[in-house]
Amino acid sequence: MDKAEKATISLSIISLLIISLFALIFFSSVDSASTQSSGTTVSGILTSDTIWNQANSPYMLTGAVGVSIGVTLTIEAGAKVNLGSNYILVNGTIAAKGSSPLPIQINGGEIRFTHLSSNFSEQTGIGSIIEYSILNSTHVIIENSSPRINNNDFRNSGLSIGGGASLVSNNVFLVSMQNNNAIDIGDSNATISFNKIAGAYAALTISSTKFIPMIENNLIIGNRQGFRMTSQFHSPSVTPIIRNNTITQNYVGLFFEKMGGPSPFPTIINNNIYGNTNLNIDLSGSGVFGVPDNVIANNNWWGTTNAQAINQTIFDYKNDFNLGNVSFAPFLSEPNANAPIVQNYTIQASSETGGSISPSGTVSISYGCSQEFTATPNQGYKVSNVLIDGVPASLGYTFGSGNSGPASCTIWNIISDGHTVLATFDSTLTPSPTPAPTQSHTTSPTQAPTSQPTANQNNSPTQNPTVNPTIAPTANPTPTSTVSEFPAIFAITFLTMTALVAAIVLKRKHLTES
């Protein structure tokens, strides 16, 4: 074998190695993308320490997951967990620690802490914790345990506490349409502090307990009931401490309910309790069983220093002789500066030709509250759409008679500036049909073609022309394929390099023979 043949063989081997390396890189990248996009399915009992991270997300529960005693489930920042209708039962430790720029996302289902789960230690920073997470329609249940629940965003999600001494702080609870409670507290020494709770049926419910929960420095706004104090049969008296909270713009600030046991005797002091749309304090549910109980709510700010005006915001003995009295004097002469401040935001509401929207212009909304807008068409128009931040309204969007009457929509739980609402309208007037042109009779059998043919022609005139039409997005856009192009590129490259190698071999052979 001469040098030319050896060179030809070496060149061929190198070319084939390059092609093999290219193929390996390509197929490895395709497999990696497929694994990443498909996520990870999980179920069953974890018997050793386990980490759920962002790279292998989303984690999809196909059944219940149990965390055994002595085992830690770590959920890292950026991870996504889809519980579906399943739950995580924690007998060991769950350490779900996201970050402000990279929160954990938890969707659906429940997370249940049992009495066997590890408590969080403020001194060591070890124990069960959920922080910097976004929980969507997820219920967290704590049973005789003390995890830390900190800096989370609860969206249509709730928290139930029965026993233990959990620390629940710096969370945001936003519940749309007042369907559920935000926090339920039973027999617990829990501390509920520096949270913002809006949109719930009851922001906090407190049942009779032999413990003393501490509720302080929370913003309770825009709920059906701010607090709901309930006594149960054969229970000792509850003595929660409620201080330095701002309780405002709820339908009822504090509601008392008695169901056979001693009524709650909370310490209600140094709160800002004002501007609740129906009542600041309502005892109407506390006179059902036994002797009515009195409530002491001294040293709070009621939005005014007029005692008579304050008294009118309280439903007690003066309204129903079966109830106890609410003592509110002495009271603060100004808001407590240590309680949360209500922040206000603005929404810009406008309408196009054909109708109006109410309210309109610059609308001021308090943090966490919701606002309904009503679009009313003029004579000869109907509501085409109500756009919230440029997107057609869906949640809470209702029409009047058909869609020829007013239409209303609601923006829920405002927590930021810059929202817009725009009402658009269509004309309901049917245009007169254009008369058909008179055709001349000729002997020619061929009819002249239409100069501008239109698709989907019919014999009826077009109805309801759109004034200021809004272009709706495609409902099911066709996805653009990108991965499928790579095999074609690979094939072309392979054929090109094969042809190149063949040409070199033939050239070498020709030179050798000559």
Domain assignment present for 409: yes
Instruction: Identify the CATH number of the domain in which residue 421 sits.
Output: 2.60.40
Instruction: Provide the pLDDT for residue 32.
Output: 32
Quick: pLDDT tens for 111-129: 999 999 999 999 999 999 9
Q: How many domains does the chain have?
A: 2
Q: In whole angstroms, what is the distance from residue 251 CA to residue 230 CA?
A: 18
Longest dimension (CA), the chain: 123
The least confident of 183-197, 207-221, 453-467 is 453-467
pLDDT over 70 (residue 466): no
Domain assignment present for 334: no
The 3-state secondary structure of 75-107, one letter per residue: ECCCCEEEEEEEEEEECCEEEEECCCCCCEEEE
Range of the domain at 383: 344-427
The least confident of 46-50, 56-60, 405-409 is 405-409
Percent of the chain with pLDDT over 90: 55
Are residues 155 and 136 in contact, defined by beta-carbon separation less than 8 angstroms?
A: yes
Instruction: Provide the pLDDT for residue 282.
Output: 95
Domain assignment present for 172: yes
pLDDT over 80 (residue 293): no
Query: 296 and 350: one domain?
Result: no
Are residues 430 and 464 in contact, defined by beta-carbon separation less than 8 angstroms?
A: yes
Which two tokens mark 264?
């709650």
Query: 199 and 284: one domain?
Result: yes
Say which residue the tokens 């809006």 belong to: 198
Quick: pLDDT tens for 304-341: 999 999 999 999 999 998 888 999 999 999 999 999 99
Instruction: Provide the pLDDT for residue 439.
Output: 56
Domain assignment present for 260: yes
Query: 286 and 351: one domain?
Result: no
Say which residue the tokens 């005693």 belong to: 69
pTM beyond 0.75: no
Query: 78 and 145: one domain?
Result: yes
Domain assignment present for 34: no
Query: 348 and 319: one domain?
Result: no
The least confident of 125-134, 197-206, 225-234, 337-346 is 225-234
Mean pLDDT of 438-449: 46
Q: Choose among 148, 98, 152, 103: nearest CA to 128.
A: 148
Domain assignment present for 356: yes
pLDDT over 80 (residue 196): yes
pLDDT over 80 (residue 185): yes
Domain assignment present for 482: no
Are residues 146 and 166 in contact, defined by beta-carbon separation less than 8 angstroms?
A: yes
Which two tokens mark 430?
């049917």
Quick: pLDDT tens for 145-170: 999 999 999 999 999 999 999 999 99
Q: In whole angstroms, what is the distance from residue 275 CA to residue 303 CA?
A: 7
Instruction: Tell me the one-letter amino acid at 2.
Output: D
Query: 190 and 48: one domain?
Result: yes
Query: 386 and 239: one domain?
Result: no
Angle between helix axes 3-38 and 485-513 (nearest 10 degrees) is 170
Average pLDDT, the chain: 80
Query: 370 and 315: one domain?
Result: no
Domain assignment present for 183: yes
Query: 295 and 349: one domain?
Result: no
Between 299 and 392, residue with greater pLDDT: 299
Query: 79 and 191: one domain?
Result: yes
10 Å CB burial of residue 249 (0-12, 13-18, 19+) is buried
Domain boundary among 327, 357, 392: 327
Query: 73 and 119: one domain?
Result: yes
Q: In whole angstroms, what is the distance from residue 163 CA to residue 213 CA?
A: 10
Query: 231 and 86: one domain?
Result: yes
Instruction: Provide the pLDDT for residue 25.
Output: 46
Between 272 and 260, residue with greater pLDDT: 272
pLDDT over 50 (residue 469): no
Mean pLDDT of 419-438: 79
Domain boundary among 382, 400, 427: 427
Domain boundary among 427, 443, 459: 427
